[in-house]
Chains A and B, each alone.
Chain A
Amino acid sequence: MNIFVLMKRTFDTEEKIVINNGQVSEDGAEFIINPYDEYAIEEAIQVRDKHGGEITVVTVGNEDAEKELRTALAMGCDKAVLINVEDDVEESDQYTTAKILAEYLKDKNPDLILAGNVAIDGGSGQVGPRVAELLGIPYVTTITKLDIDGGKVMVVRDVEGDEEIIETSLPLLVTAQQGLNEPRYPSLPGIMKAKKKPLEELELDDLDLEEDDVEAKTKTIEIFLPPKKESGKILQGELADQVKELVSLLHTEAKVI
């Protein structure tokens, strides 16, 4: 089976956000594989181990993403592709990223494409479905279970806490929801092997794309932090009195009850 995983490098979830010159500062920040993409990688490995085939993990970014691609290879992916847009793309949005990924994938005959359902930085959740639509293949988002039997596929989709049991077929794009699996940690032999696995670097030119072809259709004009919260009120006294006071405050001061 020809499997592709769409991966994004993101800020670690424990990072605080600092804004410098109107941009989110990356100084000293820890980066990770987007947690939802980790589920996608783990699922890809399980599918390959069961059905055979090869996994290519693909990212759009700059050379810093090599580290996360190596981690994906160490987990068990077979090949990695970095589409380096640092020199070509100044402003990008989900339209840009999806267009580049689809252009890369269009002649690769993928059977299965996996991605995270959302990236924890931009949080748009658009790229997966956009790529599927550009490739003309079906998609199922926020999946928590995937069963492939020949060409037939059964998927469980999380819909705001309820489950849809969905029948579909390959080729298919799915986006991973939490609960799909437990991503493995790269093993030491895995890390050693990853160093020798192929990591290909491409630029827009290699995909016959011009900068204009992928020009963003939306633009960020400002980034700001939420207003600092005033310290709250810690109630004092007997617990029962504190509870009475709290209910009264919520009712009369905060007026939310």
Chain B
Amino acid sequence: MKKRRAGMLLAAGLAGLLMAGCGASTEETTAAVESTAQAESSETTAEAQQEETSAAETEDGEKVLTIAQGGDISTFDMQNHNNGVTGAVLCNFSNGLVERDDNNDWVCVLAESYEMIDDETWEFKLRDDVTWHNGDPFTAEDVKYTYERAATDETLAENHIFSVIKEVQIIDDYTVRFITDGPYPTMLSLLSKNGSQVMPKKYIEENGLDYYLEHPIGVGPYKFKEWVKDSQVVLERYDDYFGGTPYWDEVVFRSIPEASTRVSELLAGNVDIIVNVPTNEWERIDENEGTEMVLGDGTRIYNVIMKWNTSPTQDLAIREAVDYAIDTESIINSILKGAGTSCYTRIAPGVFGQDESLYNIQKYDQEKAKELVASSGYNGEEIEFLVPTGRYLMDKEVGEVVAAMLQQVGLNVKLNVLEWSAFNSKFNSGDFNGMALIAYGDDFFDASYGMNEYRTENCTPISCYSSPEYDALYLEALNNMDPDSRSQQLIEMQQMIFVDECVQAPFIHLKVPYGVNSRIDFNSRIDELFFVDRIHLK
């Protein structure tokens, strides 16, 4: 229900926000967010002081938040990573011009206001009270440096998405204009995505990028203290933060690859929040005094990828049969312990342009699937089903059950379970004959990002769908500045891909399982990042 509301709010809000944003109300909005946070923070601080020393508090009364993720961050180069683990740390260290709040709505952060001058030009007025952690003022120069570098340096992991920016013009010290390559309605999605935080121009030019990577500075609420690679990143409070005094004194992001160790750390009271808790540990965490499970929303959706140009899956009837053969409810209830929703589009709720008619419905019809297989002329050729292990929630188990369900409707499916890097190599090179299981996520929050894959020009050995009609529709949506009709176009695209042509078979939208110390008031975010100033002591 909450998710639906967020999606609708986003769509409705977009229309109003698109042309100009924040403006006079910008400061109020930001200030409101910040002042609420601070008001809450002072209350909780008082309460917290009465509590006995907790995991979140050291003996000398310092407030320390410890979060255990499954891996280490890879860099402090904001635009050279594409992983959530790194993003979850960096969003506390530096900010973007606009960001998304906990309801997934845009709020101005480093920007004071923004305005679309024409289809290809966006103007941002910047706050003039922002400082880097070394005391230097944050100016338009930093913005130009950050985004032009991201747009032009092809070795950067985020280059492929920022390359739409043609130029960043400096109007004055606190005003910039982004010139895009053609009309670009998703500018705010781009500037608020994971990996869009600003980098310090002067500091990097004076000291070099290597020095910056060892001694990074940002403009965010927490500054760099220590990074022991593959062990932990420690950030500490930045007292001159433009948004007011940050809530925690210190934030520790630990890297603990083994899930059972993360659970042990939580049970021992050493960490406050852990990620990716396997379903078999949920009961132990819930039954233990002082810890609890939180199932948050995310954007990952399990999807059966079917090869388009080889193997029996090039037959529409077979692809349709896959859709009907998977009993999503029983997978959700038995393997995922309720942490999922049936879903027949790869676009999750909360992402602009999602087709709600394909969400939370059941298509399972074993008889129909059997009929489709029988009518297709399929004569029992082997279909490989590539499944990763240890990557997504219960991936191997889900893959095994899906394979069994496909066998039940008469498809000769051969399961091939592989560890992630081996899976990924095989998957990306298209070196498999039939199908693969993958769970796509989306940190762009616009359906155009996920639906890009089905254009003729993105034909890969995995999936080579090609339809001039689809390509034309995609281009129209890509350049369409009217949110209402654009949303309709994106929905139409999902109908073509997932209903008419069954190019892929999305089937379950996953929840995100966190283990949390009961002293912590934690609301998960749909982008799975941790904005730690919004996480408080109860």
A and B held together in a complex? no
> Which residues of chain B have a CB within 8 Å of any CB of chain A?
none
> Which residues of chain A have a CB within 8 Å of any CB of chain B?
none
